[in-house]
Structure 1
Amino acid sequence: MSSPFGDGPPPGVSRREWRARTNAASSPASRTAAPESLADLLGGAASAAVASTPTILTVCTGNICRSPLAEVLLRARLEQLGVRVHSAGTHAMVGQGMTPQAQEIAVRSGAAPSTAAGHAARYLVEPMLAESDLVLTMAREHRSHAVQMMPSRLRQTFTAREFARLATTLTDDVVRTVADAAGSDPRARLGAALRVLGDQRGLTLAAAEDDDVVDPYRRSQATYEASAEQLLPAIDEVERVVRAALV
């Protein structure tokens, strides 16, 4: 199965209208509004498409280095499975693209150049959390921010490296077994896998800093490479678990 729209407009929605709705959801004013899902905003057939689409949200601070790198890499790997991946920042540099260093690492690691070049930073707002099945943050501070914004997303929110650490305790067969028990709906299957992964919290020991991906913004190329070295193995584990749950 293929993604109905990725981060582009869903069926029946023009690119101009899609941009207007996205900008409205990302505006500072929307951060004070009541939580509203993307499906509610779209309505009709597009709403149904959103409702059936597994969605992953990646989060960092400025939404120009770490979270868009995670976004474009996961999209390249999971889009053909019908998974939608997007990103946002807790203090986003709204409208700015990925830094050149992050873009270079993204393309080198398998992202489409046009996808990396087309990124525009967005604020993290409640509708994004509400519609996401998995929220992957780049550091513990972002995880705390997301959960404080929407406490109901606690069980779906992990730092990327925390996810990877917990995932190493689960084989593909275990993931498939719990997903099969949830039925055929892709979101239900992914949700079941995430619940069993979340149950591993507290059973594996790690230093707190081992759950963070270092922030490379305005730092050296060596720091960008070190940040990627922390993030990329986590992306591998996310892909493995999601693929085992959905395929």
Structure 2
Amino acid sequence: MGLTFRPVTAMSPGRDAIHDGSGDQMSLHAATPPDTETFRLLFVCTGNICRSPVAEIMTKHILKGGLGGHEAARFVVASAGVGAVVGEMMHPDTRDELSPWGLDGLVAGEFRARQLRAPMVRRADLVLGANVRHRSAIVEREPAGLRTTFALREFAALADAVDETLLPAEDPVKRATELVEQARMLRGLVRMDPEDLRLPDPMGRPPAAHRHAVELITDAVYRIVQRIVPPRG
């Protein structure tokens, strides 16, 4: 498909928000298209300062590279933590690992952690936890999210297994919506090694652990976005 990781020099992470009425924020832009024209994706980890911010930032970056700015703006990407260090910036070691894409400056610098709330889960079309235990914590907060909540690397593996002919040919939002439905139906049918689903927490560990986490996240996000972007030709 030829998706590219294009560097950026100065780009806001777009955390201008629409409030859901409870003081929580789900959307990233003050003005979004109608709900039928958008796809809301929420990443969740523990503190919302390492893994889920990387997933949020890299997803927006890869979507923009694969779809262009206009179509990428139809995807509202956010993140939160089940035990967030509310208001904190990204961990500096994690942030440094975004430098190859030019995302360690303004983009990561404006990020602030926030706590996961049930309304965020209700509004999302897809919720991806860092690990299986995050998936469980998300559903405990909002049982209605069961159908659309997965672990990040679990969903990437399921997305890999979805038959291309089952996805709409052109519209990326419709492709994303159908991808979630097809992945849900494949649950329990695709063999997965539990170790392949893990996304280790780099918090309190050396820089190499942060690098490894970013590598795993980027791989998973790339595989997911690759199925969302309509095939060319």
Shorter-chain TM range is 0.7 to 0.9
Structure with the greater alpha carbon radius of gyration:
1
1:209 to 192, 195, 209: 195
Q: Does 1:130 align with 2:122?
A: yes
Which has a greater percent of helix?
A: 1
Question: 2:201 corresponds to which letter in structure 1?
Answer: D
The percentage of aligned residue pairs carrying the same residue is 31
Question: 1:102 corresponds to which letter in structure 2?
Answer: T
Question: Which structure has the higher relative contact order (CA within 8 Å, separation 6+)?
Answer: 2
2:168 to 173, 179, 184: 179
Write the mapping of 1:117-196 to structure 2, written as runs, cut at 5 A.
117-171=109-163, 173-174=164-165, 177-179=166-168, 187-196=173-182
Deviations 1:182-231 (A, max 9, x none): x96x6544222211122221122223232120000011112112222322
Deviations 1:103-123 (A, max 9, x none): 111232453631111100000
Counterpart-to-counterpart distance in 1, 2:133 and 2:194: 11
Asked whether the equivalents of residues 47 and 82 of structure 2 are also in contact (C-alpha less than 8 Å), the reply is yes
Q: Go from structure 1 to structure 2 and tell me whether the alpha carbon gap of 1:62 and 1:23 turns closer, same or farther (over 3 Å shift).
A: farther
Equivalent in the alignment of 2:16: 8
Give the length in aligned residue pairs: 211
Equivalent in the alignment of 1:74: 59
Q: Runs of at least 4 residues of structure 1 off by over 6 A?
A: none
Return 5+ residue gaps in structure 1 as ranges.
Answer: 10-17, 28-36
Counterpart-to-counterpart distance in 1, 2:33 and 2:160: 34
Counterpart-to-counterpart distance in 2, 1:83 and 1:97: 23
Return 5+ residue gaps in structure 2 as ranges.
Answer: 1-12
Equivalent in the alignment of 2:23: 25
For residue 141 of structure 1, give the secondary structure of its aligned residue in structure 2.
helix
For residue 244 of structure 1, give the secondary structure of its aligned residue in structure 2.
coil
Asked whether the equivalents of residues 57 and 88 of structure 1 are also in contact (C-alpha less than 8 Å), the reply is yes
Equivalent in the alignment of 2:76: 84
Asked whether the equivalents of residues 6 and 84 of structure 1 are also in contact (C-alpha less than 8 Å), the reply is no
Counterpart-to-counterpart distance in 2, 1:197 and 1:70: 19
Q: Go from structure 1 to structure 2 and tell me whether the alpha carbon gap of 1:241 and 1:217 turns closer, same or farther (over 3 Å shift).
A: same
Q: Go from structure 1 to structure 2 and tell me whether the alpha carbon gap of 1:7 and 1:179 turns closer, same or farther (over 3 Å shift).
A: farther
Shift of 1:240: 0.8
**Two-structure CA RMSD over aligned residues (Å):** 2.9
Counterpart-to-counterpart distance in 2, 1:86 and 1:100: 20
What's the TM-score, normalizing by structure 1?
0.75
For residue 179 of structure 1, give the secondary structure of its aligned residue in structure 2.
coil
Asked whether the equivalents of residues 59 and 124 of structure 1 are also in contact (C-alpha less than 8 Å), the reply is yes
Q: Go from structure 1 to structure 2 and tell me whether the alpha carbon gap of 1:24 and 1:155 turns closer, same or farther (over 3 Å shift).
A: closer
Asked whether the equivalents of residues 98 and 116 of structure 1 are also in contact (C-alpha less than 8 Å), the reply is yes
Counterpart-to-counterpart distance in 1, 2:159 and 2:176: 13
Question: 1:141 corresponds to which letter in structure 2?
Answer: R
Question: 2:41 corresponds to which letter in structure 1?
Answer: I
Shift of 1:141: 1.1
Counterpart-to-counterpart distance in 1, 2:212 and 2:141: 30
